[in-house]
Amino acid sequence: NAGLQPPPTGQLGNFLEELDVLLSNYPEDGTPLVLLGDFNIHLDKPQAADFNTLLASFDLKRASTTATHKSGNQLDLIYTRCCSVDNTLVTPLHTSDHFLITANLALTPEAAHAPTRVTFRRNLRSLSPSRLSSVFASSLPSLSHFSALDTNSATDTFCSTLTSCLDNFCPLSSRPARTTPSAPWLSDVLREHRSKLRAAERKWLKSRNSTDLSVYQSLLSSFSANVFTAKASYYHDKINNCCDARTLFKTFSSLLNPPPPPPQSTLTADDFAVFFTNKTRTISDQFSTPQTEDNFTTNAHSFSSFSPLSETDVSKLILSSHPTTCPLDPIPTHLLQAISSSVIPSLTHIINSSLHSGTFPSAFKQARVSPLLKKPSLNPALLENYRPVSLLPFIAKTLERAVFNQLSMFLVQNNLLDSNQSGFKSGHSTETALLSVTEALRLARAASKSSVLILLDLSAAFDTVNHQILLSTLRKMG
């Protein structure tokens, strides 16, 4: 919390500057902030506009009270951020011109003692892709030596060399993670404006020069006005987009009485790992032992081996992919694409070695699993309300695409796919499946036939696929 010395009557200039410096020193990481005291500011006067704008820029909200001074003014104020105040009571005192204010501060012990989360980042803005490319090319073993390595050794060497080169230019640095969502009206332009404002503020604090102060005050005034405009525009659009009275009521209710933050989950990574593993094991154990005998004639066509890829093929796979990045990637995907000319030869060897030997690199058999709530309204303390989402390395997905393209071509050319299949089939989607079912129902109705629609929902469908049955089916297809 912070207590303030009130400014002299009618003099806000220095007070606002000092207040801005004070608030700038408080972290915006979700830590609760309470600002209270005798501000000696009449909120209904025009001079209070800059004061209100300043506090709004720091997302501080004023607790509603009645008059706190015997003259009928509200001079003693309470502002909060990331916490709330209720049951505010103002009691007149005979010993002072100001009244006594009591209130309840809603602050959970978890929020007060929450451990600081740390994120690790790299400063990639000053990195030159051409410089990284040349250093990687000189650090990797010669192509003749690299081509002699087996699949796992080549993959490990490739990834470790990329990471080592990136560490030389942009080492990882830690910083506290932001625990509260960013304001929805805070655009990239406003963030850039705020960065310039804070830079001007630091410059003035260091120099105490009147020119620097003037620049800082000008930026502060402009930023405050832009924040007010952006915030007003956001709420204006939000209200105008309400299509019915129910939605409008819910919108106003959420604005006037925002819901409290969800309780912090005490679930650990081990809890999720055990739950997800036991869930798939329990479902799989309910299946009968698979029968691997030949049930139908083997296809006349045979897929005996994968065709090796050229450097041009690998380059197309890399550059045509969306640059999604996983924490397990040796370098960010957009950098890998930027230096593709240097990595394509070694990456082509890794992919072709994997296709030839039938070995999937051990380094790619890992995933970063993120548990996500199935619905925002569900209880975050219950494991069954989460679904696992696996994030895979970009190069691993590139290898999967190389395999998928050749298998898909074989299945399509030999008409081995079910005609009613819509998933994982080019030119088909959920929409085509829905159109097919709708058309079948329409034709049945036109022919005066009865229709029964059975919808099947499998829990953890992909995680419980029996690999023995899958491999046996693929062998029978050729």
pLDDT tens-digit profile of 183-241? 788 888 888 898 888 888 888 878 888 898 899 889 988 988 998 999 889 888 888 88
Predicted pLDDT at 345: 94
Q: Are 218 and 234 in contact (CB under 8 A)?
A: no
Are residues 306 and 237 part of one domain? no
Confidence of residue 15 (pLDDT cuts 50, 70, 90): confident
pLDDT at 182 over 80: no
Mean pLDDT value across the chain: 84
Please report whether residue 453 resides in a domain: yes
pLDDT at 6 over 80: no
* Pairing status of strand 76-81 against strand 61-62: antiparallel
- 339 vs 319: CA distance, rounded Å: 11
Are residues 277 and 395 part of one domain? yes
Which of 204, 221, 256 is the last residue in one of the domains? Answer: 256
- 440 vs 417: CA distance, rounded Å: 20
Which amino acid belongs to residue 91? Answer: T
The pTM (predicted TM-score) of the whole model is 0.62
> What tens digit of pLDDT does each residue of 412-422 get?
888 888 888 88
Which of 82, 112, 142 is the last residue in one of the domains? Answer: 112
- 168 vs 135: CA distance, rounded Å: 10
**Residue 211: burial class (beta carbons within 10 Å; 0-12, 13-18, 19+):** exposed
- 402 vs 355: CA distance, rounded Å: 9
Please report whether residue 181 resides in a domain: no
- Phi, psi at 111, each rounded to 5°: -70, -35
Please report whether residue 152 resides in a domain: no
Average pLDDT, integer, range 321-338: 93
Are residues 376 and 237 part of one domain? no
Please report whether residue 214 resides in a domain: yes
Are residues 300 and 421 part of one domain? yes
Are residues 440 and 384 part of one domain? yes
Are residues 232 and 294 part of one domain? no
Average pLDDT, integer, range 26-48: 78
- 176 vs 174: CA distance, rounded Å: 7
Are residues 240 and 92 part of one domain? no
Average pLDDT, integer, range 325-349: 94
Please report whether residue 175 resides in a domain: no
Please report whether residue 262 resides in a domain: no
Nearest alpha-carbon partner for 262 in 181, 186, 175: 181
Counting the structural domains of the chain, the total is 3
Are residues 102 and 14 part of one domain? yes
Confidence of residue 285 (pLDDT cuts 50, 70, 90): confident
Q: Are 39 and 6 in contact (CB under 8 A)?
A: yes
Are residues 370 and 234 part of one domain? no
Which of 256, 291, 313 is the last residue in one of the domains? Answer: 256
Q: Are 428 and 421 in contact (CB under 8 A)?
A: yes
Most confident of 254-258, 265-269, 412-416, 446-450: 446-450
CA 145 to chain centre: 41
Predicted pLDDT at 88: 83
Confidence of residue 23 (pLDDT cuts 50, 70, 90): confident
Please report whether residue 155 resides in a domain: no
pLDDT at 470 over 80: yes
Are residues 201 and 338 part of one domain? no
Predicted pLDDT at 158: 96
Average pLDDT, integer, range 459-476: 84
Q: Are 347 and 395 in contact (CB under 8 A)?
A: yes
Residues contacting 127, CB < 8 A, separation 6+? 169, 170, 335
pLDDT at 114 over 70: no
Confidence of residue 112 (pLDDT cuts 50, 70, 90): very low
- Tell me, letter by letter, the H, E, C secondary structure of 400-437: HHHHHHHHHHHHHHCCCCCCCCCCCCCCCCHHHHHHHH
Are residues 439 and 339 part of one domain? yes
Range of the structural domain that residue 206 is part of: 188-256
Quote the longest CA-to-CA distance of the chain: 101
Nearest alpha-carbon partner for 22 in 67, 49, 54, 68: 54
pLDDT at 263 over 70: no
Nearest alpha-carbon partner for 469 in 286, 295, 298, 279: 295
Measure CA of the first residue to CA of the last residue in the chain; give whole Å: 72
Please report whether residue 136 resides in a domain: no
Are residues 342 and 451 part of one domain? yes
Confidence of residue 2 (pLDDT cuts 50, 70, 90): low
Q: Where are the beta strands (DSSP E) in 156-248?
A: 173-176
Predicted pLDDT at 111: 45
